[in-house]
Amino acid sequence: MKKLIALLMSAAMVLSLAACGSSDTNTNDTTDDTTNQTDTNTGDTTGDTTGDSTGVIKIGGIGPLTGSAATYGIATKEGAEIAVNEINALGGLQFELDFQDDEGDAEKATYAYSNLKDNGMQILYGCTTTNPCIAVAAESYNDRYFQLTPSASSTQVTEGKDNVFQVCFTDPNQGVTAADYIADNGLATKIAVIYNNSDAYSTGIATAFLAEAEAKGLEVVSTTTFPDDTNADFNVQLADAQSNGAELVFMPIYYTPASLILNQAKAMGYAPIFFGCDGMDGILELEGFDKSLAEGLMLMTPFNAWAEDERTVGFVTEYQEAYGTTPNQFAADGYDCIYAIYEACQEAGITADMDNATICDKLVETFTNGSFSVDGLTGTGMTWGTNGRVSKDPKGMVIENGAYAGLD
């Protein structure tokens, strides 16, 4: 069972290239998109979903396809589409994906969730970002939808909700791992932290990092915040870090504000080590960003698109042919999510005629039975506990010559 995904991927690769070699498929997105890959209807990216004795399972997805976090939502949508096409090409149980745009906003995410319910959703894939996912998870718990998020990493997403699970590693895990790596490898003795104090993702990682840094004997000489991801001026935060002699700046934030920090640091002649987390993934694809500014940037991420193992090479090749770009961690998380759902559906005996509550109960039981595990792009032997959190470790990467390289 544990190796099924690897076998499925190998078997499906030839078929799936034909099924999803272009993005000229329909999507059920609620917003128009100017990009070739997202101007499609996700509900139909699964190919032919008629005439199969096992029927079609309707999966609803939520994430930002527009707005400042669009890179994340587009990636999770596209990674999921690749997996859906591969699975449907195998025959048997079929999936249909209806992906809705929440613009990274919690209120709009709840609207998208309501739309998906009206459209007949049976399983929820998402949300992509943390604050929207916290809001939607409260609703899905009450309505008894099984929910698996690719990338909403706050512990608040799953706390008190037996139906919500994560494929991404948690915020505390990232914060602790980052502090341990910095201390154990002697990267710096004086640390600055810049984080978004209105965002659960950012504050969760920062809190765990600060506690572990103290335990490891690191000196945090500057801790500054900003109010939201639309903040454009970071000179005050950078000046505080520089004046206090910070040799490393830890940034548990998303790539858009991070890109501004890197640019403004260069303008003021400040060149510490910059260290981020998985929200940094996507900075190399940010339109208009000077990639040379990210040279030497360290980050925690479970996926390296430049790795040479067979599974990664196959996925990256397929993704590039379908969407014309290199997948980031969020695309890989999305791919793993859909395969985890598929594997669990197979084990639990899910059929398309089951209602959402029945499916939810069966999938929760499967995910938490102690023997269910998944090998994917972002981790091998992934398992889940009753708290909804995945068991896998983050990996350290550094950007060198415009590509990721392992820190170890």
Q: Is the model more confident about 273 or about 45?
A: 273
According to the model, what pLDDT value does residue 9 have?
A: 44
Residues whose CB is less than 8 angstroms from the CB of residue 4 and which lie 6 or more positions away in sequence, other chains included: 343, 346
pLDDT band at 169 (very low <50, low <70, confident <90, very high): confident
Among the four given CATH numbers 3.40.50.2300, 1.10.12.10, 3.40.1360.10, 3.40.50.300, the one describing domain 4-169+311-391: 3.40.50.2300
Helical segments of 43-129, H only: 70-89, 106-118
**What is the crossing angle of helices 310-323 and 4-20, to 10°?**
20
Q: Is the model more confident about 392 or about 324?
A: 324
What are the tens digits of pLDDT across the range 14-26?
Answer: 333 333 333 333 3
Helical segments of 185-328, H only: 200-215, 235-243, 255-267, 310-323
Reduced 3-state DSSP string for 58-71: EEEEEECCCCCCHH
pLDDT band at 3 (very low <50, low <70, confident <90, very high): very low
**What is the crossing angle of helices 200-215 and 171-184, to 10°?**
40
Average pLDDT value for residue range 132-151? 98
Average pLDDT value for residue range 214-242? 94
Radius of gyration of the chain, Cα coordinates, nearest whole angstrom: 20
Average pLDDT value for residue range 60-78? 95
Average pLDDT value for residue range 189-206? 95
d(CA 157, CA 187): 32
Q: In the chain, where are the structural domains located? A: 4-169+311-391, 172-301
How, if at all, do strands 390-391 and 383-384 pair? Answer: antiparallel
Going edge to edge, which strands form the sheet with 403-406? 219-226, 190-196, 248-251, 273-276, 298-301, 395-400, 403-406
According to the model, what pLDDT value does residue 286 have?
A: 86
Whole-angstrom CA distances from 136 to 108, 116, 121, 150, 164 are 10, 12, 14, 14, 10
Q: Is 46 helix (H, G, I), strand (E, B) or coil?
A: coil
Q: In the CATH scheme, what is the code of domain 172-301?
A: 3.40.50.2300
Choose the weakest-confidence range: 52-56, 345-349, 379-383, 385-389: 52-56
According to the model, what pLDDT value does residue 231 have?
A: 81
Are 4-169+311-391 and 172-301 in the same CATH fold?
yes
pLDDT band at 195 (very low <50, low <70, confident <90, very high): very high
| Burial category of 184 from C-beta neighbours within 10 Å (exposed 0-12, middle 13-18, buried 19 and up) | exposed
Q: Which two tokens stand for residue 241?
A: 């870090």
Average pLDDT value for residue range 324-339? 96
d(CA 348, CA 130): 28
pLDDT above 60 (res 32):
no
pLDDT band at 48 (very low <50, low <70, confident <90, very high): very low
Average pLDDT value for residue range 132-139? 98
Choose the weakest-confidence range: 52-56, 143-147, 397-401: 52-56
Average pLDDT across the chain, whole number: 87
According to the model, what pLDDT value does residue 300 have?
A: 87
According to the model, what pLDDT value does residue 50 have?
A: 33
According to the model, what pLDDT value does residue 21 have?
A: 31
Average pLDDT value for residue range 210-235? 94
According to the model, what pLDDT value does residue 5 have?
A: 44
d(CA 344, CA 10): 19
CA 229, distance to chain mean position in Å, is 18
d(CA 125, CA 164): 10
pLDDT band at 332 (very low <50, low <70, confident <90, very high): very high
Strand partners, 123: 59, 146
Q: Is 103 helix (H, G, I), strand (E, B) or coil?
A: coil
CB 163, CB 146: distance < 8 Å: yes
pLDDT band at 44 (very low <50, low <70, confident <90, very high): very low
According to the model, what pLDDT value does residue 36 have?
A: 36
According to the model, what pLDDT value does residue 156 have?
A: 94
pLDDT above 60 (res 62):
yes
pLDDT band at 287 (very low <50, low <70, confident <90, very high): confident
Share of the chain above pLDDT 70, in %: 86
